[in-house]
Amino acid sequence: MKKVYLTQCGQFAARHGHGGTLAEASHEHNFHYEITFHGPLNEEGYLIDFRVLQDFFTHKINTRLHHADLNSLFSNPTTETLAIWLFERVQAKFPFVYSVKVAEESDRWIEYRGEE
């Protein structure tokens, strides 16, 4: 059976700050993400119904993160922590998630592929 990759992209604005060695006051980023799924086509010839995917990201991811204070969601709100959180949340709904990439700047990304 043929396998394909499907990538869902999105963005949201959120705030975070850091203590410890990073020592940054609370500030906002326009985060960008790419979440890639990998698996076989179903009997109808697709991996995921785009409507189901869009509904999940709109209501379970973007609504939760857009204009959020990430410090209230995570004890250590780094981009790395955010990528892992996204992966785990998406994997609970779509077990064939392959990777999550998150960027807070256009020139660097964090990529998480689960426990390898």
pLDDT digits (tens, 9 = 90+) for 2-56: 899 999 999 999 999 877 777 788 889 999 999 999 999 999 999 999 999 999 9
**114: pLDDT confidence band, cut at 50, 70 and 90?**
very high
User: Of 12, 13, 3, 63, whose CA–CA distance to 36 is shortest?
Assistant: 3
> Which pLDDT value is given to residue 49?
96
Average pLDDT over residues 99-109: 92
pLDDT at position 1 over 80:
no
User: Each residue of 70-94: pLDDT tens digit?
Assistant: 999 988 889 999 999 999 999 999 9
Average pLDDT over residues 87-106: 95
Please state the residue numbers annotated as binding site: 27, 29
* Dihedral-angle region of residue 45 (phi above 0 means left; psi in -120 to 50 means alpha; beta otherwise): left
Please state the residue numbers annotated as binding site for Zn(2+): 27, 29
CA distances from 73 to 3, 5, 21, 59, 104 (A): 35, 30, 20, 17, 17
> Which pLDDT value is given to residue 38?
98
pTM (predicted TM-score): 0.90
Is domain 3-112 given the CATH code 3.20.20.210 in the classification? Answer: no
